[in-house]
Amino acid sequence: MKCRICDGEIFFLFSINNAPLTDDFLTLEGIGKEFLGKIEIGMCLKCGTVQKINDYDLSDYYKTYFYRTSHSPFVLNFYEKVAEEVSRRVKKSNRKKVLEIGSSTGEFLQFLKKLNWTTVGVEPSLKLTEIALKKGIYTIPDFFNEKVATQLLNEFETFDCIVSFYTLDHISELNQTIELIYKLLSPDGILVIEVHDLDLILKLKEFSLFQHEHYFYFDRETLSNLLISRGFEVLSVNFIPDSLRRANSLLVLAKKRESKNLFEIDIQKRMNVLIHFQREWKSFCENINNWLEKHKNNYLIGYGAGGRAVMTLAAIKNYRHLRFLVDKAFGTDPVYTPKTHLPVYGLEILKKEHPDFVLVFSYGYLSEIKNELKKLFEIDEKKVLSLLELS
Ligand SMILES: [Zn+2]
């Protein structure tokens, strides 16, 4: 296997067996028929980029992808701040144009639309596209590929801004994507990319982010080097304060310019950190297992059915001590988590169910969740625990 970015040799780090897809929620009939596969992670010995080595075709999966956190006031506030910053930086007398790759339901684009920008989204999920279109956000229901890029060039020429939040690390053919972005960005245009930050994944022990959906695990240096080597200059990293960004966010602002000063990459140091990390993950899972075992006679539920919940549950043995999960993005009819088959409901179920403890998987929003559970269901905040408190 060669590096997906620079064709360098890959060093194998670790693998995860029988891993589910994070958004592959099941109906009763679908239980047992879900996809489970191996995830192999390695690091390029030349450019230092950590990446998934093996490959499954996930294109059908993304067409029906539905999970979204865009309801969250926290995320909306973040989008608004990015929109303001982008608007401030792009100086132009006539109407400005923005393209978002992986535009979901158009929440970010709405903020720029309000500021009188022409907005275009590209989003493969048909369900998400439909919601965006209803809101009046022009969205192309497809993957961002050569065909779509040509269509965009014909229709809009170039864009003053191209943004992409938590999407580029899902694209296996990333070199081509960056090339197409380069073509579509105007000479003075700016590029905003948000991906998961490997340094923070390691620091926050976010092992659950190693999933089929993520091909790349960038950090500040490897992402910057990728952009620099493709004709961009990195203007700013994390230009929105940490407290306003999601957990493990790496937010890069770049523009076109030939500059070849690459960061130096310490391959050996990274490798040691990753190997150590794998050991830490094992003890993290052990701690969760122990806590669940100790409280198995209590009424336990989980909050948040995102990737972290699905992947963490898939990695521990005592997940059955949780009766079910709740998540705002779901309704009254349950769906089931892939591999572990725990039911997932909307929050309404808490009107009649009274858990002893709520284990929060989406702990990035912990204070928001505590307030909400207290206000709507009179659940005391002492009963609401972050997954991190168990380890
Ligand atoms: Zn490489």
> Which tens digit of pLDDT belongs to each residue from 290-306?
999 999 999 999 999 98
Ligand 1 centre to CA of 77 (Å) is: 35
| DSSP conformational letter for 358 | E
Q: How confident is the model at residue 71 (pLDDT cuts 50, 70, 90)?
A: low
Q: Mean pLDDT in the chain?
A: 93
pLDDT digits (tens, 9 = 90+) for 272-289: 988 888 888 888 899 999
Q: What is the pTM of this model?
A: 0.87
Residue 49 Cα to ligand 1 middle (Å): 6
Interval between CA 102 and ligand 1 midpoint (Å): 24
Does residue 119 contact residue 96 with C-beta atoms inside 8 Å? no
What value does the mean pLDDT take over residues 30-57?
93
When pLDDT is cut at 50, 70 and 90, the band that residue 130 belongs to is: very high
Which is more confident, 64 or 112? 112
For residues 391 and 386, give the distance between their C-alpha atoms in angstroms, rounded to a whole number: 10
Q: Which CA distances in Å does 181 have to 129, 139, 148, 260, 368?
A: 21, 17, 11, 19, 36
391 pLDDT more than 80: no
pLDDT tops 70 at residue 92 = yes
Q: How many angstroms does the Cα of residue 5 sit away from the middle of ligand 1?
A: 5
On the question of pLDDT at 327 being above 70, the answer is yes
Q: What is the Å distance from ligand 1's center to 47 Cα? A: 4
Q: What is the pLDDT of residue 70?
A: 53
CA of 306 to the centre of ligand 1 (A): 29
Indicate if the pLDDT at residue 61 is higher than 80.
Answer: no
User: Sorting pLDDT into bands at 50, 70 and 90, what band is 336?
Assistant: very high
Helix (H) or strand (E) holding 149: helix 146-156
Which domains are seen in the chain, by residue range?
Answer: 73-256 (3.40.50.150), 274-390 (3.40.50.720)
Q: Which tokens belong to 182?
A: 């380069």
- pLDDT above 70: residue 66: no
Q: Residue 39 C-alpha to ligand 1 middle, in angstroms?
A: 19
Question: What distance in angstroms lies between residue 2's CA and the mean position of ligand 1's atoms?
Answer: 8
pLDDT of residue 21: 93
Instruction: Report strand pairing: 36-44 vs 10-20.
Output: antiparallel
